[in-house]
Amino acid sequence: MSQAAQAISADSEFDRDTSVSLRAPGVYDADLSEGWAILSAVNGGYLLAIVARALRDALPHPDPFTVTAHYLTPSKPGPAVVRTETVRTGRSLATGQASLFQYEPDGTEVERVRVMAAYGSLDSLGDDVRTLVKPPVLPPPERCLGTEDGPAAFPDDSGFSRRVTVRLDPATAGWAIGAPSGKGEMRGWFSLADGREPDPLSLLLTVDAFPPTAFDLGLKGWTPTVELTTHIRGLPAPGPLRVFVTTRNLAGGYLEEDADVWDSADRLVAQARQLARAPRETRVPGAR
Amino acid sequence: MSQAAQAISADSEFDRDTSVSLRAPGVYDADLSEGWAILSAVNGGYLLAIVARALRDALPHPDPFTVTAHYLTPSKPGPAVVRTETVRTGRSLATGQASLFQYEPDGTEVERVRVMAAYGSLDSLGDDVRTLVKPPVLPPPERCLGTEDGPAAFPDDSGFSRRVTVRLDPATAGWAIGAPSGKGEMRGWFSLADGREPDPLSLLLTVDAFPPTAFDLGLKGWTPTVELTTHIRGLPAPGPLRVFVTTRNLAGGYLEEDADVWDSADRLVAQARQLARAPRETRVPGAR
């Protein structure tokens, strides 16, 4: 890690709260902060950043290229342990696996999330960027809506909503006043509230930080993630990120969410897809 | 499995060549058929169908909902063993992991592919389908192009291309005569050549059966898959499938391929995304 990155790290709540400490080869202690919970559940992207930080230490390459997480049981604030396995080490890519466990009162470990990932060096990839799509148009941040603008963009005044700055395009925020667009979209600006600039680890948080697209479909309630895969496609430039989340297929009680993340230099830096259970209820929070 | 499905199975080359036999609890022997190779490499979707069949036997639910594969080393025709682990068993979903190994001359096992998956019962999901997108328009099969229509749609007269019937939309087949569209798309019809109807296992083959979208970007050469995640979203109706593969982001030597598979009843039955290495060369096979 560069000295500059370390200097940023010491000041960042995100970096402090995702830190891991080596207990034994491949085994890392962590502490899930209640600061990143929504209601009583620890945010899935925050969990992923912790596991990815452990894998970054365990593997010979620094950056997550593709990370798949299966969410097994709900995580709670408190101590955790990440156990990593180096599956394969190659010249340009290394494959790893990791599980985050928490403890029962008797000390038994319970697996919360299992992750499979390939790491490489984004810095070494060079500049042959031929992205075929352009970032969709988004109103400037001051014309977008945050939690302070009336009906909560998040379902509660959670620790999570104080640590991330999400400003929603008004076109995808109608659900907050009972008028969802029905298109299954969430678009907006993202940055960490502590001012830390984005990097591959924080992008893993960004892709799962927006309100569920189900709200924009007129559904309310929890949308638990079954599986989330994120491709980190470039080192993000400093500055706010633009996030575009869409759902195209809601069927049989499940839906996919596709999240594209664009940096301030108009690079598509992350592409994520998750399979989630659709909420059972049909009214959005805040709707009268 | 229903009697009808068993009856189909006995007649199908796909079913015979993806069969697995229980060696010990959770451990399955398989044989990779050279009939599903392209050049000397066994097709990744075929491998995935074998691993998914082992997991279907090992887990308490029958259908893959989400399957992620990391391809570690190239597979060759010949014997293999699939070792499965039941990670978590729930009422509606079970999570499993599996690795397919082959053997060195001295009997050492070498891991080829590692898979993490969640299985459920597609049959139990009910009919609340609210797909927000429509299947893109495709010319009828007789106006699409197969391997018999001049320049090979596949890079060789492989076993694979005789076992799947792929008919490409002419708009995405220009690369075969040196005129790629530059859009990064492959569209066409898919069916198994032996007439076996689609099911969730064969869909895992379908999502990786088309020529690489890189060809339509004017690139030639191998596009090795790093990671492939497939969501199976419904039981496919009998009949030919329509497959739409797109690449939106080629950067730093990597690209994603998104594959949507629609069944004959206009249901979006599979959504897949892979991260692959882009080919190094810039001329497509067949271009003069």
Q: Tell me: the pLDDT tens digits for B47-80? A: 999 999 999 999 999 999 999 999 999 999 999 9
Statement: residue A1 has pLDDT above 50: no
Of chain B, the percentage scoring pLDDT greater than 70 comes to: 91
**Residue B213, Cβ neighbours under 10 Å: how many?**
28
Of chain A, the percentage scoring pLDDT greater than 90 comes to: 78
3-state secondary structure of B176: helix
Instruction: Report the pLDDT averaged over residues A63-79.
Output: 97
How much is the pLDDT for B81?
Answer: 98
Statement: residue A126 has pLDDT above 60: yes
Which candidate from B68, B128, B248 shows the least CB-CB separation from A252? B128
More confident call, A288 vs B259: B259
Taking an 8 Å cut-off on Cβ atoms, the answer to whether A127 and B66 are in contact is no
Instruction: Determine the residue type at B62.
Output: P
C-alpha span between A161 and A38 (Å, rounded): 8
Statement: residue B205 has pLDDT above 90: yes
Q: What is the pLDDT of residues B152-177, one digit of tens each?
A: 544 556 788 889 999 999 999 999 88
Taking an 8 Å cut-off on Cβ atoms, the answer to whether A252 and B233 are in contact is yes
- Report all structural domains of chain B as residue ranges with CATH numbers, in order of start: 3-121 (2.40.160.210), 141-277 (2.40.160.210)
Q: What is the pLDDT of residues A257-266, one digit of tens each?
A: 999 999 999 9
Statement: residue A228 has pLDDT above 70: yes
Which candidate from B65, B249, B253 shows the least CB-CB separation from A275? B65
In this predicted structure, which of A66-75, A128-137, A228-237, B25-34 has the lowest mean pLDDT? A128-137
C-alpha span between B148 and B195 (Å, rounded): 18
Instruction: Determine the residue type at A206.
Output: T
Confidence bin at A149 (pLDDT 50/70/90): confident
3-state secondary structure of B198: coil
Question: What chain B residue is nearest to A183 in terms of C-alpha separation?
Answer: B132
List of chain A residues whose C-beta atoms are within 8 Å of the C-beta of residue B132: 183-184, 247-250
How much is the pLDDT for A218?
Answer: 92
List of chain B residues whose C-beta atoms are within 8 Å of the C-beta of residue A217: 130
How much is the pLDDT for A8?
Answer: 47
Instruction: Report the pLDDT averaged over residues B231-240.
Output: 97
How much is the pLDDT for B3?
Answer: 38
Distance of CA A279 to the CA centre of its chain: 20
How much is the pLDDT for A122?
Answer: 96
Which candidate from A125, A183, A247 shows the least CB-CB separation from B253? A125
Q: Hey, of A87, A183, A254, A257, which one would you mutate to test binding to chain B, going by the most B CBs within 10 A of its CB?
A: A254
Confidence bin at A35 (pLDDT 50/70/90): confident
Q: Categorise residue A170: left if φ over 0, alpha if ψ from -120 to 50, beta otherwise.
A: alpha
Two structure tokens written together for A249: 């297929």
Q: Categorise residue B150: left if φ over 0, alpha if ψ from -120 to 50, beta otherwise.
A: left
Two structure tokens written together for B245: 């593969």
Instruction: Report the pLDDT averaged over residues A201-226.
Output: 94
Task: Using alpha carbons only, give the angle B191, B52, A55 rounded to the nearest 5 degrees.
Answer: 125
CA dihedral B28, B29, B35, B38 (to 10 degrees): 70
Taking an 8 Å cut-off on Cβ atoms, the answer to whether A227 and B229 are in contact is yes
How much is the pLDDT for A220?
Answer: 87
Buried b (16+ CB within 10 A) or exposed e, A108-140: eeebbbbbbbbbbebeebeeebebbeeeeebbe
Average pLDDT, chain A: 90
Which among A213, A185, A190 has a CA at the least distance from the CA of A284? Answer: A213
Instruction: Report the pLDDT averaged over residues A120-132.
Output: 87
Instruction: Determine the residue type at A91.
Output: R
Instruction: Report the pLDDT averaged over residues B229-248.
Output: 97
C-alpha span between A46 and A248 (Å, rounded): 25
Taking an 8 Å cut-off on Cβ atoms, the answer to whether A128 and B252 are in contact is yes
Average pLDDT, chain B: 90
C-alpha span between B253 and A45 (Å, rounded): 26
More confident call, A287 vs B66: B66
Instruction: Report the pLDDT averaged over residues A87-99.
Output: 97
C-alpha span between B172 and B186 (Å, rounded): 5
Distance of CA A100 to the CA centre of its chain: 16
Which candidate from A128, A251, A273 shows the least CB-CB separation from B253? A128
Count of alpha carbons within 13 Å of A8, Cβ hemisphere only?
Answer: 15
How much is the pLDDT for A4?
Answer: 39
Which candidate from A88, A129, A248 shows the least CB-CB separation from B131? A248
Instruction: Report the pLDDT averaged over residues B16-25.
Output: 97
- Number of continuous H segments (helices) and E segments (strands) in chain B: 6, 15
How much is the pLDDT for A10?
Answer: 63
Instruction: Report the pLDDT averaged over residues A186-208.
Output: 97
Confidence bin at A157 (pLDDT 50/70/90): low
Instruction: Report the pLDDT averaged over residues A41-69.
Output: 96
Q: What is the DSSP letter of A197?
A: P
Helical H segments across B106-181, by residue range: 159-163
Two structure tokens written together for B134: 């429509």
Instruction: Report the pLDDT averaged over residues A80-85.
Output: 98
Q: Hey, of B55, B207, B249, which one would you mutate to test binding to chain A, going by the most A CBs within 10 A of its CB?
A: B249
Instruction: Report the pLDDT averaged over residues B31-55.
Output: 92
Confidence bin at A9 (pLDDT 50/70/90): low
How much is the pLDDT for B132?
Answer: 87
Confidence bin at A282 (pLDDT 50/70/90): low
Q: What is the DSSP letter of B278?
A: P
Two structure tokens written together for A26: 């491949």
Confidence bin at B282 (pLDDT 50/70/90): low
Statement: residue A281 has pLDDT above 90: no
C-alpha span between B257 and A174 (Å, rounded): 32
Contact B187, B138 (CB under 8 A): yes
